[in-house]
Structure 1
Amino acid sequence: MLKDTFGRKIDYIRVSVTKQCNFRCQYCMPNTPFDAFDKDEYIPLDNVLEFLKVAIDNGIKKIRITGGEPLLRKDLPDFIAALRNYSKEVQLVLTTNGFLLQKSAKILKESGLDRINISLDSLKPERIVQISKKDGLENVLAGIQEALKYNFGLKINTVVMKGINSDEILDLFDYAKHRNITIRFIEFMENIHANHNLLGLKEKEILEIIKTKYDFETAKDQIIGPAKLYSCKDGYQFGIIAPHNDDFCQTCNRIRLTADGIICPCLYYQDSVDAKEALLSKNPQKLQSVLEQAVYNKPEKNQWDTTMEADKISARAFYHTGG
């Protein structure tokens, strides 16, 4: 079992398999060229697999595969299948923008993937183009339908931005609710790679909008994770991810591995562990050592602050850490 110095059990790892993405979202990397990344710098997935075997042996119970856009990796199904072959119990989850999901859902299911989180920031085609620089809504919605067909556990992630999609909160809520998909509204997370003109809505503001149509209360049984859950009277649950809140980090059980071999103990904290040499070696003792060091380095709290000055905004790219 892995425990950090604050007594939190670490049983969840997010693994970025690529920095490449076919979207250029306003809150992530809107001005990054599409050919900006060198694939040769990525750790081979066979090496990542050996690290994750060590992590599973140390009590990791959930692995989320992220990017960039992970479905750009042609070898991803084989990687998932190898993880599933190693452990029947570990939860295998994917986060995707959904653009390639319709073509991938069947093989992902056959490979052993359990659940999928899909980014959906608008139900209007022109707004998806505005947000992501990609005419992708039709593909994303088709991907969601295909994933439902194969009975994946699904969640929708929506980053709420003032003046861009904040007027669609109820429409997106209804879209998810009518399909029995959990939706999670995410506060915009400031970083230097995002559009610097963006402003987000905070948890309280989002809840006030939902309250105009639905009665709900804080869910009695909260699942350990980034989202605070709320329950409607009919039992439907939704979540808010609010990293600016003081209690956001209290139950954090996560570390992150980047595609080029950096272990980030916290999304919004610059300290990290360079695990590239250990990963390339496949040496179990070295892999154990960098895993333990990352858990030891995990801070008590992230450094998000609603009053932060411009020069203190995170330089870490979410497409690098996997969000």
Structure 2
Amino acid sequence: MLIDSYDRVVDYLRVSVTERCNFRCQYCMPEKPFSWVPKENLLSFEELFLFMKIAIDEGVKKIRITGGEPLLREDLDKFIKMIYDYEPSIDLAMTTNAFLLKGAAQRLKDAGLRRINVSIDTLKPETAHRIAAKDVLKNVLAGVEEARRVGLKVKVNMVPMKNMNADEIVDVLEYCKERDMSIRFIEYMENQHASKDISGLKSDELLERLREHYEFTDDGFDGSSPSHYYTMKDGYRFGIIEPYADDFCKKCNRIRLTAEGNLIPCLYFDEALSIGKAIKAGDINAAAEVLREVVRTKPEKNRWGGEDGESSSRAFYETGG
């Protein structure tokens, strides 16, 4: 079992298989050129899998595949099947923009994937184009429907932004509710790579708008999830992720691995240790020691809202958000 110095059990690993993405979302990487890390710099799926086995043996129970956009990496389903075949009880999930999902959903499900998270920030094609710098909505919605058809559980994320999509909060919630998909509204997370024109909607503003349409109760947090949950009168639940809240990190149980082998203890920290050299050498003991050290030094809180206003220079597309 992996336990950090604040007595939190760390049993959730987010694995970025690529930093490449086919979107240029305003809140993530709007100005980044379409480029990629050389293939030789990335850990192969076989090397990533070797570390997955170490992590599972050390106590990891949930693995989420992320990017960039993970579906841009060829043969992703084979990597997922490696993990599933090693430990069928592992909670295997993926975060995707869903643009390529329609053609991949069945293979992913057959490989052992259980759940996906998809960002749907709008139901208007022109707004989606504005956010992603690409005509994406038709493909995204088709991917979501195919995922539902093959039996993948779908959770939707939405980042409400003033003067962009804040007027669609109810519409997106109703879209999810009609399809029995849960939704989480995520407060915009300030970062050095996002558009400077973004103004995010805070949770109190979001709740005020939702109360104009619904009655709901406050359920608080659910386990180690970062979402603050609310239940509507008809039983439908939605969540809000508030990264600036004092209790956001209180039950954090996750660490992150980049495609190049950097193991990161916190989303908004630059500090990392590499497992790349050990994994490429097949040194399981050395890689396991790096894992334990990263867990041991996992910080109590992220740096959002610190006294010095410090923020990470590492982009979310490198760490999987």
TM-score normalised according to structure 2 size: 0.97
Query: What is the identity, as a one-letter code, of the residue corresponding to 2:317?
Result: Y
Any residues of structure 2 matched to 1:49-128 within 5 Å, and which?
Answer: 49-128=49-128
Amino acid at match of 1:268: Y
Confirm or deny that 1:174 pairs with 2:177.
no
Please list the CA deviations of residues 260-302 of structure 1 after superposition, one character each: whole Å capped at 9, or x if unmatched. 1111100012221122212212221011111101101100000
Matches of 2:307 and 2:149, distance apart in 1: 45
> Which residue pairs with 1:313 in the alignment?
311
Q: Distance in 1 between matches of 2:208 and 2:306?
A: 20
* Counterpart AA for 1:315: S
Report the counterpart of residue 278 of structure 2 in structure 1.
278
> Which deviations, in whole Å up to 9, do the C-alpha atoms of 1:206-247 show, x marking residues without a partner?
111111111111226713212111111111111111100000
Shift of 1:306: 7.9
CA contact (8 A) 1:115 1:154 kept: yes
Distance 1:134 1:240 in 2: 27
- Kept in 2, the 8 Å contact 1:51–1:282? The answer is no
What pairs with 1:93-242 in structure 2 (closer than 5 Å)?
93-219=93-219, 222-242=222-242
The separation in 2 between residues aligned to 1:270 and 1:220, in whole angstroms, is: 30
User: 2:265 maps to which residue?
Assistant: 265
Shift of 1:38: 2.6
Cα shift readout 1:24-73 (whole Å, capped 9, x = no counterpart): 00011000011253333111111110111011111101000000000111
Residue aligned with 1:219, SS: strand
Query: What's the secondary structure of 1:106's corresponding residue?
Result: helix
Output the amino acid matched with 1:322: G
Structure 1: state its 5+ residue gaps.
none
The list of structure 1 runs, each at least 4 consecutive aligned residues, that deviate by more than 4 angstroms after superposition, is 306-309
CA distance in 2, matches of 1:160, 1:314: 22
The CA RMSD over aligned residues, in Å, is 1.3
> What's the % identity of the aligned pairs?
49
Amino acid of the residue matched to residue 101 of structure 2?
A: L
Structure 2: where are the runs of 5+ without partners? none
Name the SS for the 1:238 alignment partner: strand
Alpha carbons 1:129, 1:135 under 8 Å: kept = yes
What is the distance in 2 between the residues matched to 1:274 and 1:250? 26
Q: Which moved more, 1:136-145 or 1:212-221?
A: 212-221
Q: How many residues align?
A: 321
Letter in 1 for 2:85: N
Following TM superposition, by how much is the alpha carbon of 1:168 offset from its aligned partner in structure 2, in angstroms? 0.8
Q: Deviations over 1:142-178 (max 9, x none)?
A: 0111011012111001111111111111111111111
Task: Determine if contact 2:268/2:311 at 8 Å carries over to the other structure.
Answer: no
Amino acid at match of 1:198: I
Provide TM-score, normalisation by structure 1: 0.96
Amino acid at match of 1:314: S
Secondary structure at the counterpart of residue 210 of structure 2:
helix
Cα contact 1:278–1:290 (8 A) shared by 2: no
SS in 2 for 1:247: coil
Q: Tell me, yes or no, if the aligned pair for 1:12 and 1:63 is still in contact at 8 Å.
A: yes
Q: Take 1:306 and 1:204, find their aligned partners in 2: how far apart are those partners?
A: 21
